[in-house]
Amino acid sequence: MIASEIIQQLNEVDPKTGRSKLQRLVENLIEKATTGDDRYLMETRTRTVNGKKVKYQVPTETLVHKGTGDLDAIKEIFNRVDGKAATTTLTPDVPEPKVYRTMDEIKQAMLARGIDIDRLPSPFEKSRH
């Protein structure tokens, strides 16, 4: 249910840009995986705001540090290209499986579901059909 809502919202088109949120997401993922960690030489500029001079910095085209990219983003891109399904943690409607450590825990869980395992035939005995 949540997955379908996410897909629906990702397919929505921004009227200002004409692009879907999915296109922007993929573009950001690729940028993060490739050039997101790059650092450029900054240039200080001045402009007047409300009669006062304000200094600000803008990046130049001079690369001073070539980033290695985000490894998780790189892996996700390669996994999608290889056709691997995305692993999702957005499944709150699917409960975490319960791990039973003792026979008593199993018996209590089965009794809670209306099954008395002491009355069931043993799987180790041969049936008398």
Residue 50, pLDDT score: 92
Confidence of residue 94 (pLDDT cuts 50, 70, 90): low
Read off the pLDDT of residues 55-66 as tens digits, 9 standing for 90 and up: 999 888 888 888
Q: Is pLDDT of 34 > 60?
A: yes
Report the Cα 125 to chain-centroid distance in Å. 49
Q: How far is CA 89 from CA 3, 92, 93, 106, 115, in A?
A: 10, 8, 11, 27, 32
